Amino acid sequence: MIYYEEGFHFRKYVNHLTNNKIECEVLHIEDGGIQVKKKLVMIGNGMAGVRCIEEILKRESSMFDITIFGDEPYPNYNRIMLSNVLQGKTTIEDININDWNWYKENGVTLFTGEKVTHINRLNKQVVTDKGNTVAYDELIIATGSSAFILPVPGSDLEGVVGFRTIDDTNYMLNTAKRYKKAVVIGGGLLGLEAARGLMDQGMDVHVVHIMPYLMEQQLDEAAARLLKKDLEAQGMKFLMEKQTKEIYGDGRVQGISFADGSSVACDLVVMAVGIRPNIALAKEAGIDVNRGIIVNNHLQTSQSSIYAVGECAEHNGIAYGLVAPLYEQGVALAEHITGLASTGYEGSLLSTQLKVAGCDLFSAGKIKEDDETQAIIVQDQFAGVYKKVLITNNKIVGVVLYGDASDGTRLFSMMKKETDISEFTSASILQKAGEDSEAAMIAEMSAEDTVCGCNGVKKGTIVQSILEQDLKTFDEVKTCTKAGASCGKCKNVVEGILALTLGDSFDASAKSNGMCGCTPLSRDEVVAEMKEKGLQSPKEVRLVLGFEQEEGCSKCRPALNYYMRMLRPEEYEDDKASRFVNERMEGNIQNDGTFSVIPRMYGGTTTADDLIKLGEVAKKYDVPLVKVTGASRIGLYGVKKTDMPHIWEELGMRSGYAYSKSLRNVKSCVGSQFCRFGTQDSLGLGIQLEKALEMVDTPHKMKMGVTGCPRNCAEVLTKDFGVVCVENGYQLYFGGNGGTEVRECDSLTTVATEEEVLEMAKAYVQYYRETGIYGERTSNWVERIGVEPIKEVLLNEATKQELAIHFDHAKTTYDEAWGNMINNAKQKDMYDVVKI
């Protein structure tokens, strides 16, 4: 039956169940013509298959009538997170990717606990183990893979299990409540995760591995030795170069005997020796198979209307077992099946980055040298860090990192792009001098670079979501894009993208009570502990105070660096690697990846010589834009990253700190020098303030202003600190903001002399330095601390003088550091301006 009404779009769903045969017709009328939805059936309800359906729905939500069969009694879940469930870090409910409602909301018919047993290619139907028959126009096989069970005597005993499903995980959890001895066969990634989880459940665990060292597919021998040492320190036991001969027991497993005659007693055996693509259904249907189901670049099998995606598919001789390439396959299939132009799936370059039982590792490409490959190797035995980069023809072809995988994403990006490494220094693992690897990598990543390998989320998707959805935090990005929603190892990169995308509006202070996700301690608690315990470095802070991530995150690294230098200006040496890329590069990164160069011009004044130098540099380096800025300085915009140090060297001018968390500028009018309304020398006072307060780090950027009369041409009442010149002195104001959330200044006091203005400004800045949260503007700080409490501190003569002295002391260390840098630069016959 079809309903039709002129001028309306109408759909009618007709479902028939006759003789156990399901027929689904979905008819709709568009512009007077009848359109019939095609029937799309998918066998498998796993990660790769459902991701493919998600991509199809994004492109053509009304093109298909979709039916999914899953042989497990669960909705789509994240198989990667089963290790975390076993380790007690999360629950089964928390690893669902798409809950039951998702299928209903998207019009997807889901059959769980029902297995497809036959594909009838002639009639284009699938048959299930419950006797149902469903017709299809297009069929996707996403049957995944199964744990490989060694074919040895006793492998069918009670207590022998693989590690692939929720049921496997629940079985191990229940077993651990009754028994205490476990053996995991397989020293690869999955086996070590299983072993760590069973240890966390209180079991005594041996790992049996046939090879001489662990994770031989991802690590070389040196890295594997470090991994084994760390795991042994955690209590994991190893039986290396052991070949399982028999699993013995009376009804239930009691132990394992090996080919060399040795044995080990156990109550549970977990097989983690590999996976096998589930191809039996396709093979029985006459579809071409090898190790997996053979597919072309559009994921088509040998039958044009049947596709395969995920671990069951074999593309160009490779059956992938990692999530990222399977998601890439899903996107390629979605584009083809919805009729979009696409080059298809062309294969994947694989990488592994996750924490194996708390041991940080990354691996990609080649792991061993050969006749055509040379290696750059750096090893810190004391810290347990090992880094190896393999090079062929000046290009990265392999990466092995252990103990510190922070360089992994950057190096992998260089590997994929086939970057020529000639300009990089090998001593810092292909890191340009003075540059923090992670932040630099994030700035250089293209929109197409993958950030979250687990969920296939690209940088461009994250940036677009941040801008369009007004996302401010990692949790918001995770919810919106799924980046970081699985293993969570990309959290630092996601937060770095947030900081880069939002710029000055990025709030690095935590929204929760903790200063960041690494610790529940607040800013005040962390600073108090730093003082009380005499902690000397950010790393010591993180270790002693038990931060979740030993290397910190994009929030706490720059914050701790700031707090440490604020508390210990003489002893602590600034960690440039913990600063944001703008601060390290001495310029703001622009939307096209170029930078701005803005030299200091006190009070907006300059000289003929400096103007000539600016013009010559702009012409020499083909700078596309030269502009007078809102802060009355001359800025060069569109500068290439590689030209930055040369431009600063040739200018020979001090940076204007137009990017920093410190005093950026003091805006002023010409005052009594020229203006007929001017009551005081506002220009001269503004220059004094700028020179007195520059360079010293503060929790966030600061802008000040001095206006020569109450007409307020310098707009000082929306500055962090403002001075209004009047006949009898100087009116002082604080806590203003002229940004997206405008806040008018509060009145502080009136003083009689320029010296008093300078002293009060120093005290004010120092009090903000000592009590502000890193990333907090003075307007927010004033709201949090309170106007009257701040005035009480600053108007107390003794407290004010003490704060000003502390500021002068800190300023001296910045001046000395600057002087030392200039002297060193002159000795090298260069002027490399780098943030001190």
Q: Quick one: which H or E segment has residue 70?
A: strand 64-70
Q: Which two tokens stand for residue 302?
A: 């040998």
Query: ∠ at Cα 100 (95, 104), nearest 5°?
Result: 145
Rounded distance, CA 835 to CA 832, Å?
10
β-sheet bridge partners, residue 160: 269
3-state secondary structure 534-566: CCCCHHHHHHHCCCCCCCCCCCHHHHHHHHHHH
Instruction: Give the pairing of strands 116-120 and 125-128.
Output: antiparallel
The torsion angles phi and psi of 133, rounded to 5 degrees, stand at: -125, 130
Q: Quick one: which H or E segment has residue 58?
A: helix 47-59
Count CA within 13 A, CB hemisphere, residue 335: 13
Place of tokens 């419950």: 130
Q: Report the SS3 class of residue 66.
A: strand
52 a known binding residue?
Answer: no
Burial (CB < 10 A; 0-12, 13-18, 19+), residue 349, is exposed
452 a known binding residue?
Answer: no
One-letter amino acid at 680 equals Q
The CB-based long-range contact list for 624-627 (8 Å cut-off, 24+ gap) reads none
Q: Quick one: which H or E segment has residue 480?
A: helix 474-481
Q: Which two tokens stand for residue 538?
A: 């950010």
Rounded distance, CA 803 to CA 763, Å?
5
Q: Report the SS3 class of residue 573.
A: coil
Rounded distance, CA 268 to CA 254, Å?
8
Q: Which two tokens stand for residue 152?
A: 């040895």
675 a known binding residue?
Answer: yes
The torsion angles phi and psi of 196, rounded to 5 degrees, stand at: -65, -40
Rounded distance, CA 703 to CA 709, Å?
19
Phi-psi region of 748 (alpha: psi -120 to 50; beta: other; left: phi over 0): alpha
Q: Report the SS3 class of residue 321.
A: coil
Rg (CA), the chain: 32
Binding site, annotated residues for [4Fe-4S] cluster: 669, 675, 709, 713
Instruction: Please give the annotated binding residues for siroheme, written as ranges.
Output: 713
Numbered residues of the known binding site: 669, 675, 709, 713
